[in-house]
Chains A and B, each alone.
Chain A
């Protein structure tokens, strides 16, 4: 077909129409831009929140030293509380009663402290590991220094000076075990856990000394200290005899 004279006109009209057709393209609605930017910002922020939570979620885990210490020491302390309660009401000796109240309330408060930590860490008081697995000595038996069922029965049944003596003997040995466990919290544990462990070591070592003096004043001797599989001779009050 030969080019007709109408074609240039048609082309002109097309070109004339073209700029009008492209104008809406340049006038993109502002709301689209705003929504797109907000969505992008939100996604970036959400990703940031997630990254932050991954970086900051350094709370002790199920098998950590902190969790094991908190769980085991809570059980260990609970027996000290039970023994102190057993003698507190029945003793006639004010010095023994004061000591019992002191141990009772201090260790019960420390149990609360450790349970609070576990709560914040999102861990239940019951662990999946055996006792003392966190310190390399897993056991399904009693923890160091703890009284057996028969010893507790005797303590609950005893009165007077013999009750005081049995209480002192059991509590000295109990403290020795507690000190060994607290000393097993290594330097890598969280600072607040190390602080409590160190406070337990200091306070209970001092109480061991005081109780040993009271015991000897009543004409009795301490029991054999708890056996230590590790054979660590550096622990005070842990003579092998």
Chain B
């Protein structure tokens, strides 16, 4: 190797002494350090793999639960209750021949007369305590303000052609038309609001009926 005059020859020509000094212990130390690094990398890889498997299992669990729940609920073709429907929780359902003061007007449930009002359309007010009994039998009770326009009254009357629909005028109700079923009520401004049909579909002989299978005929009154 041509010696470089500007540099001391001993450095280039004597690399061995430094390495020689580090041969045994330093090499072992270096090797051990490398192995420790390798083991740490391996450990990190293991931890990542474990985390991936645990994470993947958690995702699989969530996906599987969602799939099963959606499959179980898939058979339900029920309707959505129309927006604005209020729900109540009536406790008392006893028969009484006394007048009852109900918290809501029209009422949504409570103590009632022993005889129900026959379903159908009426142009005069009925005994509210009988209307409540009709709702206990699954009727939807549609009340309208006495000054509701005739064409809207006719629309309500047409709905009463079906069974388990009671249509009567009632003074003092909060909106021109109010639809009630046991423990449910929907206030409407017109008889043509599409939510009225949805209310009927949700509650006529619906799941809220305290006495499923009961009649809305053979009670009191002759619908028009």
Contact = CB atoms under 8 A, between A and B. Distances in A.
A122 B77 contact: yes
Nearest to A74: B163
Contact of B35 (A20, A47, A123, A153): A20
Given A46-B64, A81-B217, A36 B56 contact: yes
B79 interface: yes
Contacts of B77: 61-62, 121-123
A52 B19 CA distance: 73
Interface residues of A, number: 55
B49 interface: yes
Interface in B176-224: 200-202, 204-206, 212-213, 215, 217-218, 222-224
Contacts of B39: 21, 24
A32 B53 contact: yes
Interface in B69-121: 70-72, 74-79, 120
Interface string A136-173: 00001010000001000100100000000000000000
Given A32-B50, A59-B75, A85-B218, A50 B70 contact: yes
Contact of B163 (A24, A40, A78): A78
B75 A42 contact: no
A127 to B, nearest CB: 8
Contacts of A49: 67-68, 71
Interface stretch (A3-11, A179-187, A212-220): A3-11
A75 B218 contact: no
A39 B201 contact: no
A36 B76 CA distance: 34
A122 B56 contact: no
B63 interface: yes
A39 B57 contact: yes
Given A10-B31, A124-B206, A35 B217 contact: no
Interface residues of B, number: 57
Interface in A112-127: 112, 115, 121-126
A68 B72 CA distance: 25
A230 interface: no
A207 interface: no
A29 B204 contact: no
Contact of A39 (B19, B61, B78): B61
Contacts of B49: 28, 32
B27 A124 contact: no
Contact of A21 (B42, B161, B212, B223): B42
A178 to B, nearest CB: 15
Interface string A19-43: 0110011001100100110111011
Contacts of A17: 31, 34-35, 38
24 contacts: A4-B19, A6-B23, A17-B31, A17-B38, A29-B46, A35-B54, A39-B56, A39-B60, A40-B60, A43-B60, A46-B64, A49-B67, A50-B68, A53-B72, A53-B74, A62-B77, A78-B163, A85-B217, A111-B213, A112-B213, A123-B77, A124-B78, A125-B164, A140-B158
